Structure 1
Amino acid sequence: MTLQQNRATPSPARWDDVQIGDRVNLQRNGHLEHTGRVDNRTPDGAIVWVTPEGGSRKLFHIADGYQLTAVAAEGTPDEDN
């Protein structure tokens, strides 16, 4: 069985709508698992590095099954994404 077959929900083809410095939430299976700022990303949007406040940056790949959402400064989801 491949990773593709094990994924609970399909994810988008890439995360190219977020930019370095954007605040983001990463949810998986309907649960918020990570939050922080985009520290870096690949040009194709397949990989982002997110740094939580006071923590070390983590790498996330689009195939990991996360839904990435940009967050407005006041903590509500950004309506543009």
Structure 2
Amino acid sequence: MTLQQNRPAGSTAHWDDVEIGDAVHLRRNGRLEHAGRVDDRTANGAVVWVVSGHGHRQLFHVDDGFELAVAGPEEAGHAAH
């Protein structure tokens, strides 16, 4: 699993190794808040759009306070919830 955590204000942080179609988990304060598949992302990795298993599409910015984890094959099913 790849984990990318955004850094304090003023530092550079990007989710630039996330690919379209990746199953991802977004956590804040250690709690899973969103899961789905990456639908799109900006070239610099600062913004990703994630579609949940229910078809809800949501935009996330690297400065929103989430840790973005790319789910491994054993966790990919959990990203659809």
In our comparison, the structure showing a higher alpha carbon Rg is 1
TM-score (structure 2 length as normaliser): 0.77
Query: Structure 2 counterpart of 1:25, which letter?
Result: H
Instruction: Name the one with the larger strand percent.
Output: 2
Q: Which runs of 5+ in 1 are unaligned?
A: 1-9, 77-81
Q: Which runs of 4+ in 1 moved over 4 A?
A: none
- Unaligned runs of at least 5 residues, structure 2: 8-12, 77-81
Task: Give the structure-1-normalised TM-score.
Answer: 0.77
Task: Write out per-residue CA displacement over residues 5-40 of structure 1, whole angstroms, 9 at most, x where no aligned residue.
Answer: xxxxx7141000110000000000111000000000
Does residue 44 of the first structure (1) align with residue 44 of the second (2)? Answer: yes
Aligned-residue Cα RMSD (Å) equals 1.5
Q: Name the CA distance, whole Å, in 1 between partners of 2:15 and 2:25.
A: 12
Number of equivalenced pairs: 67
Structure with bigger RCO (C-alpha 8 Å, 6+ apart): 2
